[in-house]
Structure 1
Amino acid sequence: MTLPPAADPTAPPDGADITRLLRQASAGDVAAADEVVARLYADLRRIAGSRLRQSGDLTLDATALVHESYLRLQRAGGLDFPDRKHFLGYAARVMHSIVIDQVRARQAERRGGALQQVTFNTGIADLAPQRDDEVLRVHEALAELAAMDARLAQVVEMRYFAGLTEPEIAETLGVTERTVQRDWAKARLFLSMAMK
């Protein structure tokens, strides 16, 4: 299965049109789902690039991460997004999940989870970056935050992973911008303490 062709990257997606397409996609219209991804492709690549930069060196690039996310979204089926922001927020969570799965798989390989043939002429094996542990620590701290206060975790996901602005987050969550700012400050404090 291939990703649909991207729409004109210079034209911003029309919010009402995206919302209409999301409704059609939730009703089972595969062509509408493909069109949503095509129109939001630039946003999805931006989120993927940001996610990969935050995670350190991975074998995926932004395009591959968008494509893998698209496949997971298709497999999930029956998803209902009221608007563009909710869709991008969910896509950011899917990308986060893919990155965490990849980090865990790489760590399992380092611990002997995958057999490798080693010969005398291989030289010294390159070690994977130490950032894998940090990526997993952030993921675990975020899961702990979600268990404590789900909205704080949503604010982190939307701001940090999806790159939404405070007004966009406020609108999506149905709270004020000041509440988002307070939630962001609380979440950052919690995460910084959890990461020590």
Structure 2
Amino acid sequence: MVRLAETRRDEGFDAAFAVLFPRAFRLSFRLLGDRAAAEDAAAEAMARAFADWKRVSELPYREAWILRVASNIALDQIRRRKLPVVVPSAVSEDEDTHALRVALWAALHALPRRQREIVVLRYIAGLTEPEVAQLLGISLGTVKTHVTRGRAALRRMIRDDEEKIIDLR
């Protein structure tokens, strides 16, 4: 009987792993810019989910919980190692697009930690505002405020960087 329950738990986790590991990896990679570090962060998030799978599997926002764990692990790696901001680049990207991508990435990392976390969960992880609020245990209004202020700050920083880039030409 115990073995049957473990098998069912493992099967449920296996199905979730197949869907959620790639998303946790993509989120971690966008934060870290390093494939190996992103794989480690995603694997650690999934290991933590597996360790408490009975509880995690019953969460209404299970996916958001796992992505939050992955983003926390990635952000911890950045803080601990003082990793440089690495910008994942597209294969065929012109200079202007690359400069804008670098500016966006630097601006994202310049946001206050809480604001960056909310913006990353909303736009990079693709969670809805109610999911972000539920995941972080904060009000929907707080999420909306951080999203609005974060976008405005990003817009301002990128506009300033574009002006600097244009002045350099």
* TM-score interval for Structure 1 and Structure 2 normalised by the shorter chain: 0.5 to 0.7
Distance 1:135 1:86, change over 3 A: farther
Q: Given the alignment of the two structures, is residue 80 of structure 1 paired with residue 60 of structure 2, yes or no?
A: no
Shift of 1:133: 1.9
Q: Given the alignment of the two structures, is residue 167 of structure 1 paired with residue 146 of structure 2, yes or no?
A: no
Distance 1:71 1:177, change over 3 A: same
1:44 maps to: 23
1:129 maps to: 94
1:62 maps to: none
1:27 maps to: none
Q: Given the alignment of the two structures, is residue 158 of structure 1 paired with residue 108 of structure 2, yes or no?
A: no
5 Å-filtered alignment, 1:13-162, equals: 34-40=14-20, 44=23, 70=39, 73-74=42-43, 80=48, 83-89=62-68, 100-103=86-89, 128-130=93-95, 131-146=97-112, 150-162=113-125
Q: Which amino acid aligns with 1:195?
A: I
Shift of 1:181: 0.8
Q: What root-mean-square deviation, in Å, do the aligned CA atoms of Structure 1 and Structure 2 show? A: 4.4
| Higher helix residue share | 2
2:5 maps to: none
Q: Is the Cα–Cα contact under 8 Å of residues 41 and 70 in structure 2 kept in the other structure?
A: no
Distance 2:133 2:157 in 1: 25
Distance 1:152 1:179 in 2: 10
Instruction: List gaps (5 residues or longer) in structure 2.
Output: 1-8, 50-55, 57-61, 75-82, 160-169
Distance 1:140 1:79, change over 3 A: farther
TM-score (structure 2 length as normaliser): 0.53
Shift of 1:169: 0.5
Instruction: List gaps (5 residues or longer) in structure 1.
Output: 1-19, 22-30, 53-64, 107-125
Q: Percent identity?
A: 22
Number of residue equivalences: 124
Shift of 1:158: 0.6
